Amino acid sequence: MAKIIKLGVKSASEYYFENDKIMNEDGRGDNLQITGTLAKDLGLKEGAKLEQEQMRNLLKGFSADGEEQYIDRLKHSSTGKENAAYDIVFSAPKSVSMLSLTVDSMLQNAHNEAVAEVLTYINDKYAKTNGYDKEGNRTLNKGSGLLIATAKHSIARDEIKGVEDPHLHTHSLVFNITKDARDGKFKALAVNDMLRDANKFQEMYRSALALKVKELGYQIEKHSSQSSAWDIAGIDRENVLHFSQRHNKIVENATILQEQEHVQHKGKKDKSDLTKTELLESWNKQQSENFGMSFNELKEHCLNNVEKTQNHYENPKQVLESAMQALTQNEAVIKEEDVLKLSRKLSIGEFSDKQLSEELSHVKKTGQENSQDIKLLGVDEKGNKLFTTKAMHDTERDNMRMIKNQYDIKPVMQNKDATRAIKAFNDKQSWNMSKGQTEAVNAMLTNDKQFLIINGDPGVGKTTLMAAFADATSNRKDLEVKILAPTGKAAKEASEASGLQASTIDSFLLQKRSMDDKQKVYIVDESSMLDAQKANALLKIARKEHAQIVFVGDQKQLKSIGSGDFFSQIQGHVKSVDITEANRFKTDLQKEVAKLANSKQLDKVVDLLDAHKKVIEIDSKSS
């Protein structure tokens, strides 16, 4: 997982000026340059070299010459420590590092251009600062741009036989400052969005670099279909791993993320004393002795002897449609960022992020003709564009059409008969059903509409309803009742608790339909897990058979693992009964805790338990 590192003044002003064997052997910091549109506001020239004293002043919140203070770092820090800058590191694939640092400087140019493209995007989208509106509510204000210093490095510090690894990477230091577009004042950055999107920046970089590498005549191989990582085709994995000793050491010595971070920061050895010429000679010697060809020969092999791969997609539209088809297997409504994220992975080396974004920006709310066509639904409260496919939209619309146009049906029994049946069930038990349970069973028995919803929190005794319904209808030979559940385990438990027949929804949909004249009632258990496609199939069966469907579920429980949130969508369009009494819990304390937990008042749960001396503190050191 990519990570953006927060930096203080001291660490940022020293590390990035250390000499690099390839990029700045004399240690003068010639490879540190300024970019970002905020540079002009700070009196700096974009593309200019940054001297160490200038950088130290800027990190402290002053002008480059140290004469004017733009921002008080500690005043704008919530932790009492200055956050001077944020380091976003873009590392080239190892195969690119190997060839670019030895025999093909055009690959270095490709890396630089890919980094520049992503930094332009970051500059345009993430220059934000915190502010307040007229009512005193906190807002995110747009900034005039970012100040970024880039430092290109060529080696990984850990050594192979006394020699560092080739490792082309760029440190991009985003200074913690922007200019509020509203009042023109310099302020600290609001960085939550930028920190959250660290992985996205890496994916964009790899995508941009892959295109540029292919333009140079190379082919690429993805590490896996689910990853945006890749290497130049034609270089054996063993060859790549030989020059990846630092990475291998991190993986070997770290089993969890915290350990991995420790190794990354503490496991850096001092650089060797080799000169640039000696370092390149050593790399070439290792390459020839271990793999039977020089870097020049390896380059020629990759350019001339590797079969050219065909693109998987003819145009960006196909990529987006493929991404949406995959995403709508699990969700009905997809955010723009999620569409682009998967599209990048699918089309590595084929289309740029800009091409994909532009194609998606052309998607409209209407005009879709084919089932795979993407449809714009609108925007959410945070301004994120929301999309679906025409097929999914049509399915959900068809579901609502059938729900709203439900048939009138013959009730299972009349009110007076239902009342007697419920009393008879209670008499057989050592307890009476709750008011909510009684209302729910009565509705199941007397409902004269095709669909009914029973809403109930955990512990309200929803399986008891099914047992009561089964008892009331046990002598009805003209009635077929079946419980449908999302899993085999749930179906078995419901059947054992109620005495009714039960099956999974999937198996029910595959069954051959009987054409008898029996009145049919299907009870869908755990309806919150019912997706739009399966709901559509059930509704069509119900219409054909004039059957009744009772949807039993809890809106707060796990949502559908398929597409759409059918159970929530039909609320308010179908008669419903809500059961709120918790029958699973016997004591008053248990019932009150359950009630608070179901309404997500977790702080009150802890306070209530603590008041009754039910909270036990455990020393974390002893656990």
Query: What is residue 512's predicted lDDT score, i.e. its pLDDT?
Result: 87
pLDDT at residue number 385: 93
Rounded CA-CA distance 401/210 in Å is 47
Angle between helices 415-428 and 435-446 (to 10 degrees): 140
Percent of the chain with pLDDT over 90: 65
Residue 527 CA to residue 607 CA, distance in Å, equals: 33
pLDDT score for 263:
36
Does residue 198 sit in helix, strand or coil?
helix
CB 373 within 8 A of CB 389: yes
More confident residue, 235 or 50: 235
503-542 pLDDT, tens digit per residue, is 999 999 999 887 788 999 999 999 988 999 999 999 999 9
- pLDDT range class, residue 571, cuts 50, 70, 90: very high
CA distance 362 to 344: 18
Distance of alpha carbon 384 from alpha carbon 377, whole angstroms: 11
Share of the chain above pLDDT 70, in %: 84
How far apart (Å, rounded) are the C-alpha atoms in residues 578 and 440? 8
For the segment 80-94, the average pLDDT, to the nearest whole number, is: 89
Higher-pLDDT residue of 427 and 274 is 427
pLDDT digits (tens, 9 = 90+) for 431-489: 889 999 999 999 999 999 999 999 987 777 788 899 999 999 999 999 999 999 999 99
Q: Of 374, 350, 379, give the one whose Cα is nearest residue 364.
A: 374
88, two tokens: 């976003």
| Angle at the Cα of 206 from the Cα atoms of 310 and 83, rounded to 5 degrees | 170
With cut-offs at 50, 70 and 90, classify the pLDDT of residue 282. Answer: very high
d(CA 270, CA 535): 63
Q: What is the DSSP string of 309-370?
A: PPPS-SSHHHHHHHHHHHHTTT-SSEEHHHHHHHHHHHTTTTS-HHHHHHHHHT--SS---S
Q: Selecting from 3.40.50.920, 3.40.190.10, 3.40.225.10, 3.40.50.300, what CATH number does the domain 406-584 have?
A: 3.40.50.300
Residues 468 and 463: their CA atoms lie apart, in Å, by 9
N-terminal to C-terminal alpha carbon distance within the chain? 28
Task: State residue 238's pLDDT score.
Answer: 96
Domain spans in the chain, listed from the N-terminal domain onward: 4-261+270-304, 316-403, 406-584
Question: Locate tokens 């049919």: which residue?
Answer: 520
With H, G, I as helix, E, B as strand and everything else as coil, classify residue 221. strand
SS (H, E, C) 401-435: HHHHCCCECCCCCCHHHHHHHHHHHHHHCCCCCCH
| pLDDT at position 611 over 70 | no
Q: Confirm whether pTM is higher than 0.95.
A: no
- 418-to-105, 454, 521 alpha-carbon distances in Å: 84, 17, 16
Beta strands 85-91 and 5-7, pairing class = antiparallel
At 585 the pLDDT is 46
The residue with greater pLDDT, 252 or 408, is 408
